Amino acid sequence: MTFGQRSEQRFWMNGSVVTGMLLATLVCSVAVAADDESVRLGAGDPVVEFINAKIRQGWTDNEVMPSPAAEDAEWLRRVYLDIVGHIPPVEEIEAFLKDKDKSKRAKVIEKLLEDPGYVRNFTTVWTNNCIGQQTPRFVSRAGMEKFFREAFGRNRPWNEVVYDLVAADGHYEQNGAVNYLLAQMQDNDDGVQATAMTARLFLGLQVQCTQCHNHPFNDWKQDQFWQFNSFFRQAQKREHRKFNPQTGQMEDDYAEIVFRDFDGPVYYEKRNGAMQVAFPIFEGHEIDSGASSDRRVEFAKLITSGEKPLIASAMVNRTWGHFFSYGFTRPIDDMGPHNPSTHPELLDRLTEEFVKSGYDVKQLIRWIANSEAYSLTSKFGTKNTHDSPGAGETALFSHMYIKPMRAEQLYDSLIVATNAHRSGRSGWEESERQRQQWLQQFVRAFGNDMAEESNNFDGTIPQALMMMNTNPRPQGGDATLMSGAVSLESGSHLAELLAGPGGEAQKIQQLFLTSLSRMPTRSELNGMQKFLRANRDPRMALQDMFWALLNSNEFILVH
């Protein structure tokens, strides 16, 4: 089955005859065959072996035949996107395809975990998780990014990271962790949003509806929500403004989280109008409710201690979902007896091992990325077609599930493929200025206000216009990212390709490697050669080819 035959397929057409011809030429087949020994990675690691055994047991129990292992090109592109957030550079693809070392995949995982791109990618993911893609007022994105950059750069234990986020106070740039709570705290909401977000993001619990009534499907009661909420009542958001003599107006300056006096219980109203009280209690542990007790500090201690705390299982589930598109539960942040895990023994074991490792996020990623399931192709066959969680079925992980790139992945992948940020530009500052403008366009067009990683490809009008309705040969003015990506100006990928050695077949192959991370099929190569020969200007023909490749589903999807 090809990408064009998949349900996820949705080519965006702009009416151009050239575009239609080129997109129709792209077969975009997903490679499937690979040496079994070359993908049995992490064979000596008991945790990886346990993952493999439990996933295989799920296949057997559900009478599913897993898809074959992905070819090297497909796997390399996927692991780059998942770990460092962009497609692999062409020289890395070529070297990997030539490498005959059977442990080369495990070595690539290690290399990527030490790459600065890993820190940048997971800083972006968790900054978006904590404050959203659109920065709220009186929140410092730079401060939040600095906090996560240091956390992932030093590989700080995850329980320490969560502790700092929940217990943080101070200036929003001097202590970047405070930006998490600043983003959640609304005027006069008494920490309600902070309560719900902390439960979802770090504990894997959806408690928001119990603010008003007992949960209809699980054991969460209304009083438990307010017990949870009482831990946040001593946190106060303080906003500072300053006078700008040049404009004659007051402007935003900075924000901070400060301690405020609050003691005793929280009062809330039941549906029948009766008033109730709730004290700071979490999982049966009650803390001193007097004014001298710092409730958030005590709460941070409670949620980050124990043999198998909720923050560990929530992080395992969320990280698994990052790599596989789906976690062990759906939704990923609604865990508990009411929503059983697809693989409960595996979730429990990974949680225990994650805690034993010292909450080592890199180690958790190693286990997942080295697993047999992660090595499989995204192509499915007749014996695992019902393994389709997007259609409501249980996730069995018998093939890789397709997902769209995040906005930042798409931007950085275009940069890697095209050198678009350097095309026609001089100097780092000018390049960085253009980069930020482009990235803001992408965030607005592709962004998710809830900052969650999507697992369904759903092209929208703004996305289509952003990617497709740009002139590949703009006449003056600032080019959009897509226009810059296929530029023929000095420094661009196309300019270097045209100036380099090799005939038309080699140049077409190079375009496929740089954009789709694979060689073209024979039919694709023949079709592109016919198109090239039918055009009087080979430069313009190659430009149109590259533009079509960058706008194909195979480029924009992680598979």
pLDDT given at position 15: 33
Reduced 3-state DSSP string for 263-325: CCCEEEECCCCCEEEECCEECCEECCCCCCCCHHHHHHHHHCCCCCCHHHHHHHHHHHHHHHC
- In tens, the pLDDT along 26-49 reads 544 433 333 344 334 455 899 999
CB atoms within 10 A of CB 154: 10
Sign of the alpha-carbon torsion through 106, 45, 121, 518: positive
Looking at residue 341, its pLDDT comes to: 96
pLDDT higher at 444 or 154: 154
Check residues 444 and 290 and name the one with the higher pLDDT: 290
Q: What is the structure's pLDDT at 82?
A: 98
Q: How confident is the model at residue 456 (pLDDT cuts 50, 70, 90)?
A: very low
CB atoms within 10 A of CB 262: 18
pLDDT score, position 408: 87
pLDDT in tens, 115-166: 999 999 999 999 999 999 888 999 999 999 999 999 999 999 999 999 999 9
For residue 2, the 8-state DSSP code is B
34-43, 56-65, 139-148, 447-456, range with the lowest pLDDT: 34-43
Lowest model confidence (mean pLDDT) among 83-92, 123-132, 286-295, 393-402: 286-295
One-letter identity of residue 415 = I
Assign 411 a pLDDT band (cuts: 50, 70, 90).
confident
How far apart CA 239 and CA 137 sit, in angstroms, is: 10
Give residue 492's pLDDT.
Answer: 77
pLDDT, greater one: 1 or 257: 257
pLDDT of residue 498: 84
Structure tokens, 224: 């438990």
Q: Kindly report the pTM of this predicted structure.
A: 0.88
Which residue(s) pair with 278 in the sheet? Answer: 266
Hey, what are 167's tokens?
A: 């217990």
pLDDT of residue 343: 98
Question: Is 164:177 a contact under the CB 8 Å cutoff?
Answer: yes
State residue 40's pLDDT score: 42
Q: What is the pLDDT of residues 350-383, one digit of tens each?
A: 999 999 999 999 999 999 999 999 999 999 999 9
Radius of gyration of the chain (CA): 26
- Helix (H) and strand (E) counts in the chain: 24, 9
* High-pLDDT (> 90) share of the chain, %: 58
pLDDT band at residue 2, thresholds of 50, 70 and 90? very low
Going by pLDDT thresholds of 50, 70 and 90, the confidence category of residue 292 is confident
326: nearest Cα among 449, 200, 452: 452
CB 542 within 8 A of CB 498: yes
Task: Tell me the average pLDDT of the chain.
Answer: 84
User: Which contiguous run of DSSP H or E holds residue 546?
Assistant: helix 538-550
**What is the Cα–Cα distance from 127 to 144, expressed in whole angstroms?**
6
Decide if 129 contacts 152 (C-beta within 8 A). Answer: no
> What H or E segment, with its residue span, contains residue 222?
helix 222-229
Torsion, CA 407, CA 410, CA 412, CA 413, rounded to 10: 170
User: What is the torsion angle, in degrees rounded to the nearest 10, for the CA atoms of residue 402, residue 407, residue 413 and residue 417?
Assistant: 110
The answer to whether residues 145 and 123 touch, using CB atoms and an 8 Å cutoff, is yes
Angstrom distances, CA of residue 319 to CA of 52, 325, 346, 501, 559:
17, 10, 14, 43, 17
Q: For the chain, what percent of residues have pLDDT higher than 70? A: 79
Q: Which pLDDT does position 447 carry in this prediction?
A: 57
- pLDDT tens-digit profile of 204-238? 998 765 554 454 555 556 778 888 889 999 999 99
Q: For 185-205, write each residue's pLDDT tens digit.
A: 987 788 889 999 999 999 999
Say if residue 76's pLDDT is above 70: yes
